[in-house]
Structure 1
Amino acid sequence: MPQNTISASGQILRDARSRYRSSKREEGGAHGAYEGETRRAGGAPRAEVTVRREPTPATAAAHFEGVAEVVVRERRMYDGDRLVQLADTWVPVDVAEAAGIEQVDTGVGGIISRMAEAGFAQTEVTEDVTQRPATEAEASALGVAPGSLLLEIIHVGYTDTGRAVEVTRHTLGPGWTLRYSVPLN
């Protein structure tokens, strides 16, 4: 079964082929994909989370038709003491309220499991991966020079009706490899 690994040098392989399956997100009581995959790789996951409401930013508005306000889950994700990624998630307020995800701790499986329980199961995910220069704040947080190239993943989760219910921007620190797989049938 595909899984993430963390090498002795700290190189992180993020294997997207199974990370969003509920069995992986919830394994061993994990509170989401990052916690589950980092534990499986032998790491020590932790996250600093802030939650608030705000007007829908352009990054999310492109996917949320007519949604004026979102719940923002802003996370700093660590392996031990090493900050390895920044992750900002935007969820339409009606989905967030129904799923009860405005608290910091969203329980086993994280927000994707809470959404499924509330009738907003994600059945498709699209991830666009780009490389872009680090902002001053990102550079400071991730320990790189301003303007250094970072990987960014824009993750969009859709229900079976095609509704986008989650947009997450993952900004990865140095030392990541991303793995995807595409069926050829």
Structure 2
Amino acid sequence: MAQNTITTGGILRDARSRYRTAAREEAGAHGAYESETRRQGGAPRAEVTVERVTPPADVAVLLGEGPVVLRARRMYDGDRLVQLANTWIPVDVAEAAGIEQVDTGAGGIISRMREAGFDQGTEALEDIEQSPATAEVAAALGVQVGDLLLTITHQGQTAEGRVVEVTRHILGPGWTLRYGVPLD
């Protein structure tokens, strides 16, 4: 597998390895973003809020009706805000995994879910689309209202097919996404 590299001053999000336990927990990192950014010489940090909410309709379809735990993150490289990420988790999963606190420890929520019996299995589903920046997103990420930004919607599910997290990542300028595709 190719080594992660810095890409023209941006951040490389490498889907080929980011969800592997060793990569998420590397050097005590609290998740994939932290370990990837450190590996590229960046200075990752996140501002996190956690609350119980009613999820958006498209998320409720995947997680089921009723309240969920929302982990809203503003993710930085140094002082530069580079990503907004909202993660919705069923309340029973969040309680069992102990992930309603801000600091979820090495490996982040995916490692805590695995330890609680909600291992996300062998693959992740991610939809990537361009979405116009709202006024709030534009102000946060330093772009113009209506600018098209990459939005990744990640679904993590157990081997039995239960969706245990939905995360919507809105990426600011300067990202490179790397994927590997089997060529059977």
TM interval, shorter chain, is over 0.9
Distance 1:70 1:92 in 2: 5
> In structure 2, what residue type is equivalent to 1:157?
G
> In structure 1, what residue type is equivalent to 2:61?
A
- Measure how far apart 1:11 and its partner are: 2.0
2:109 to 91, 111, 116: 111
2:68 alignment partner in structure 1: 70
Report the secondary structure of 2:62's partner residue. Answer: coil
Report the secondary structure of 2:74's partner residue. Answer: strand
Report the secondary structure of 1:5's partner residue. Answer: coil
User: Residues 64-120 of structure 1: CA distance to partner in whole angstroms, max 9, x if unpaired?
Assistant: 1x3311000000000000100000000000000000000000000000000000000
> In structure 2, what residue type is equivalent to 1:88?
N
Tell me, yes or no, if the aligned pair for 1:3 and 1:19 is still in contact at 8 Å: no
> In structure 2, what residue type is equivalent to 1:111?
I
Distance 1:3 1:103 in 2: 33
2:6 alignment partner in structure 1: 6
- Measure how far apart 1:176 and its partner are: 1.1
2:34 alignment partner in structure 1: 35
1:144 alignment partner in structure 2: 143
> In structure 1, what residue type is equivalent to 2:173?
P
Tell me, yes or no, if the aligned pair for 2:12 and 2:36 is still in contact at 8 Å: no
Tell me, yes or no, if the aligned pair for 1:4 and 1:12 is still in contact at 8 Å: no
Tell me, yes or no, if the aligned pair for 2:30 and 2:104 is still in contact at 8 Å: yes
Q: Percent identity?
A: 72
Note if 1:81 corresponds to 2:79.
yes
Scaled by the length of structure 1, the TM-score of the pair is 0.95
Distance 2:3 2:44 in 1: 15
1:184 alignment partner in structure 2: 183
Mean CA deviation greater in 68-77 or 53-62: 53-62
- Structure 2 gaps of 5+ residues are none
Distance 2:49 2:43 in 1: 20
Aligned-residue CA RMSD in angstroms? 1.2
Aligned length: 183
Report the secondary structure of 2:136's partner residue. Answer: helix
Scaled by the length of structure 2, the TM-score of the pair is 0.96
Tell me, yes or no, if the aligned pair for 1:31 and 1:106 is still in contact at 8 Å: yes
Report the secondary structure of 1:6's partner residue. Answer: coil
Tell me, yes or no, if the aligned pair for 1:2 and 1:18 is still in contact at 8 Å: no
2:91 to 90, 93, 98: 93
1:169 alignment partner in structure 2: 168
- Structure 1 gaps of 5+ residues are none
